[in-house]
Structure 1
């Protein structure tokens, strides 16, 4: 029997050669960690001590050490297992063990000896190739075929895989339509590679799409993501091993929302570089985005930037590979300026020039996600707004104005449902909200009806019983609309409802 003295003995011993060693106590927690274990498996002492070994490497039979050969049985080969490195790649090893006692009661444990297995080069190449194919296939299934066609902006998206390593790293970009004819633009960089990077992107991508549906402001989206990443890494509320999703900590993220009616773009960043912006006259600049820490780093407050953009402005969103290739903001601005000069008015031509110019500059280990966005503006004749008095008698006059506007837009087929939606939302605002109140109709590829008021009271839909005199308003709105929801602002809230248009009724973009 050996004697267990704690983590210090393994850290201070000379473990520069031979097998890696660590100690698992009677509860299954790692209690000591050697420098060779750190070298072999990538974890530092502070990252593993106190964590369950079954969570890190379930294949190790820590609770049945008799299944492993004793470290004192010279020449007895241990069973082969595959452990996962901190960076996600497999490490083939053999295992051995011996129990240890302690002068402190209750501190008994087992020393696990891990010896790396030297695989033939052909086998290593095959394992590496298999991981590259699997990660690439999963990543390609996650990538949308094309950026969605949206009246707020023309968008082109591109992903350039790394030439070396697993080929797939943590760069990601997304385009998400949100309410009010707006569009959310997302770009992120997760410090991971291979399958681990792909899984992390999938987790955080699903989270941000859910938050986008809630119509939160960009700085609120990042605050929620920061909390989600922290809980993922701590193993709370998910079934993933913390060692697999911990690479989300330190991920950079940029979330922007562009409104084609006001031509304003609000963006917030978690350690991610700002986009380069080209004005219609050809001048290019990189805005100063408030500096916030990456996700999972405990940033208490995320600040945003509000830009007014001219119609036809071009924005280049990118990930860290471009930063390392160009090194300075001026070089990135010059890249966009050159693409604009060489491509003319076509956004797709500008995208091709950008990708063709950047790809040779990337380091072999870098991948790259790009979003090239050209803003549109919704013309004034497709948006109408009415200020509402806090008087129930105003509902009748508002109904008449809505029907007249639908007639001007040649949308008579939506008279009944739009009148009902507008009446119910306006009545609710007058009854439960407070001034200022307004009604807005937007004739986009869908018809949008919005009612805003100065209250932040949350509406609740319910199913009224046959004897109830009221309570059916939102229920009727939900049944008449294709989608409906609520977004909150510093001035109050907006309840919106969308209705689909016939192909003939949808305006030309």
Structure 2
């Protein structure tokens, strides 16, 4: 069939003129007649328009007229972007400027526009080209457009998913993750978004099934709108609201699949009982809604609603798929945050129960403490502190740090703190206590299975143990891999106390050493964990210098000192736990302490009783004279018979009345029950029955046997 036949669809007839071919080409070229060209242009499925020099529409094919729902004849003479005289299509405002540029420059350019036609938004990609006459002069501009709506939204959906992978789940906070989903969705997808979660999800608990609930209660945790004041919302943030099982949301949650629906006037009026909100909603009507359940690991956590009121087009099937993908990603992140919230709450509760809840009864030091857990998502650490009253009105101050984070670190911290208290009760010297603690840590490491889920040992735990004696004003300390303490003197000078270096607990094979320091009354001893001075981007030496500067204000109270240190040195979101203990020393004066040196002669026992009785009467403790005379008689006699010089008798009035006898022997006394015909062995049994507590502690030169009697009202007594 010839080209003429093809063009006419019937018998061959002239449709154009044949012109000679180019030189060297014998084939003639058929040039279509004008009417054929018109038919080709008119039947082209791509919208084509032509604007003359006056920038008025001079020609439009059928596809262009059909795109705006007008006849070709009615469009002639319209300005660029007009659908009828004086009415510019929404999204077509910039077309006139683009045509003017092409007309003046003679160079074509691409143009993309979002046109709203018959309440439907379309994306058009146009090619603007100059049309020249035979002399090369620009006579007009042709506009050839392609409807790229589907491609545009496909790119937009892909961009949203790409953003979601980077923006959703940046923190382990349930509420913040929900806000990230809402913020992302209103950028390029929806006009208004709400995220509701089951109440138990916010507390980290396991979500109960929604299948058997009469009412499904949610708490609104996030909502975002393209309008600043969110007039579409009828439920404020944080408020609990219920969905019926038969509602759209209820059915969607029970079914577990996303739903697309439209909002009619009746449901709109039902949502807007508030007159002000009703007026706003009439101006910003929601016409399309997606309800997507938040499900992760087979459990429903909540629901997300995506609404459109400013965007003309409703949600399409592809939008429903996109929303489901977005919510699915967010649900996993929310569930991870929920699990972290639960573990963190459990670890905090565990650690809180293991740390001291109230100040111990003692009068040797005034103590103030601070503890701040890390917030970087690694979990609660194993930092701890403690204040333990010891015999002889002494006090032990402890700060420690277990390597790692989470429940394992908190549980290990509790075991170590309990061990320290147990070892302190037997009055071990600081270096001996750390040696015993080191053995315990190695035992815990050996008991840890090699394939344990915790995957970590407690080797690397650090500890500083200090014992302060208010009678002598001396403080004995030892450390195991822990930062050195600081001493702030009453004159305002601050120094690091040079303690011998000890390895972290659990290393083994290295002996710990103690050092003794005299402390003036009113000195402040500062113990802390490494989280206070080892922060990201800060030099440790510079941090210590800053800490010394903050401590150089002796006029401050301990509360003010702790607050100033924490405010200045701890970042808003610390990446490690911080424990701080500040203790101001006190001294025992004549109203609380008396001591006498004795010779190893049985004749001095009666004299010792008299001195003790006189001292108690001077303190106004007449009721304790009889018991104290009995205790002094038995302990001094025991020191003379089984111990050796030097012998000293001490009376200490603190939270209890303490009687101490020091001798030069390290022989340990033992409590036993004497038989009927035994002449001795009843002294310590008598002391134990007449006093509240008794015990023995060892020193470098011998031992001290002590006994405590309760004193009414002693807890209100002060040392000054």
Please tell me the TM-score bracket, short chain as reference.
0.7 to 0.9
Q: Tell me the secondary structure at the aligned position of residue 414 of structure 1.
A: helix
In structure 2, do the counterparts of structure 1 residues 156 and 471 end up closer, same or farther at CA, with 3 Å as the change threshold? same
Shift of 1:333: 4.4
Counterpart position of 1:367: 577
Shift of 1:309: 1.0
The match for 1:156 among 363, 368, 372 is: 368
Q: Partners of 2:372 and 2:497 in 1: how far apart? A: 25
Deviation string 1:161-215 (CA, Å, 9 cap, x unpaired) is 1112254111111111111111101011111211011100011111000000011
In structure 2, do the counterparts of structure 1 residues 367 and 388 end up closer, same or farther at CA, with 3 Å as the change threshold? same
Shift of 1:412: 0.7
Counterpart position of 1:480: 690
Q: Is the 8 Å Cα contact of residues 502 and 513 (structure 2) preserved in structure 1?
A: yes
Q: Partners of 2:689 and 2:361 in 1: how far apart? A: 27
Matches within 5 A, 1:327-406: 327-329=539-541, 331-341=543-553, 344-360=555-571, 363=574, 365-406=575-616
Counterpart position of 1:268: 478
Larger radius of gyration, structure 1 or 2? Answer: 2
Runs of 4+ aligned residues of structure 1 deviating over 6 Å after TM superposition are 239-243
Q: Tell me the secondary structure at the aligned position of residue 255 of structure 1.
A: strand
Q: Partners of 1:362 and 1:311 in 2: how far apart? A: 36
In structure 2, do the counterparts of structure 1 residues 249 and 436 end up closer, same or farther at CA, with 3 Å as the change threshold? same
- The Cα RMSD (Å) is 2.4
TM-score norm. by structure 1 comes to 0.72
Q: Tell me the secondary structure at the aligned position of residue 570 of structure 2.
A: helix
Please state if 1:285 is matched with 2:499.
no
Q: Partners of 1:139 and 1:506 in 2: how far apart? A: 30
The match for 1:295 among 502, 505, 517 is: 505
Please state if 1:178 is matched with 2:390.
yes
Q: Partners of 1:468 and 1:201 in 2: how far apart? A: 48
Q: Is the 8 Å Cα contact of residues 174 and 186 (structure 1) preserved in structure 2?
A: yes
Q: Partners of 1:231 and 1:120 in 2: how far apart? A: 39
Shift of 1:143: 2.1
Please state if 1:431 is matched with 2:626.
no
Q: Partners of 2:545 and 2:391 in 1: how far apart? A: 31
Please state if 1:498 is matched with 2:699.
no
In structure 2, do the counterparts of structure 1 residues 498 and 292 end up closer, same or farther at CA, with 3 Å as the change threshold? same
Q: Partners of 2:592 and 2:509 in 1: how far apart? A: 41
Q: Partners of 2:372 and 2:688 in 1: how far apart? A: 42
Please state if 1:228 is matched with 2:440.
yes
Deviation string 1:73-109 (CA, Å, 9 cap, x unpaired) is xxxxxxxxxxxxxxxxxxx9xxxxxxxxxxxxxxxxx
Q: Partners of 1:323 and 1:395 in 2: how far apart? A: 55
Q: Partners of 2:364 and 2:631 in 1: how far apart? A: 24
Matched positions, count: 389
Please state if 1:462 is matched with 2:649.
no
Counterpart position of 2:632: 422
Q: Is the 8 Å Cα contact of residues 533 and 543 (structure 2) preserved in structure 1?
A: no
Deviation string 1:318-370 (CA, Å, 9 cap, x unpaired) is 111112135334532432432553x834112212222222232764x211111
Q: Partners of 1:505 and 1:203 in 2: how far apart? A: 29
Please state if 1:453 is matched with 2:663.
yes
Q: Partners of 1:362 and 1:333 in 2: how far apart? A: 22
Deviation string 1:437-490 (CA, Å, 9 cap, x unpaired) is 111111222111001111111110012233332211111111111111100011
Which segment is superposed worse, 475-484 or 378-387?
378-387
Q: Partners of 2:590 and 2:407 in 1: how far apart? A: 48
Q: Is the 8 Å Cα contact of residues 503 and 510 (structure 2) preserved in structure 1?
A: no
In structure 2, do the counterparts of structure 1 residues 465 and 197 end up closer, same or farther at CA, with 3 Å as the change threshold? same
Q: Partners of 1:448 and 1:242 in 2: how far apart? A: 48
Counterpart position of 2:402: 190
Q: Tell me the secondary structure at the aligned position of residue 150 of structure 1.
A: coil
Counterpart position of 2:377: 165
Q: Partners of 1:487 and 1:329 in 2: how far apart? A: 39
Structure with the larger RCO, 1 or 2 (CA within 8 Å, 6+ apart): 1
Counterpart position of 1:214: 426
Shift of 1:286: 0.9
Q: Is the 8 Å Cα contact of residues 399 and 422 (structure 1) preserved in structure 2?
A: yes
Q: Partners of 1:461 and 1:447 in 2: how far apart? A: 21
Q: Partners of 2:671 and 2:542 in 1: how far apart? A: 52
TM-score norm. by structure 2 comes to 0.52
Q: Tell me the secondary structure at the aligned position of residue 571 of structure 2.
A: helix
Q: Which runs of 5+ in 2 are unaligned?
A: 1-296, 298-328
The match for 1:134 among 328, 331, 346 is: 346
Q: Partners of 2:451 and 2:605 in 1: how far apart? A: 56
Q: Partners of 2:556 and 2:513 in 1: how far apart? A: 34
Q: Is the 8 Å Cα contact of residues 651 and 659 (structure 2) preserved in structure 1?
A: yes
Q: Partners of 1:332 and 1:313 in 2: how far apart? A: 18
Q: Which runs of 5+ in 1 are unaligned?
A: 1-91, 93-117
The match for 1:317 among 505, 524, 527 is: 527
Q: Partners of 2:624 and 2:663 in 1: how far apart? A: 24
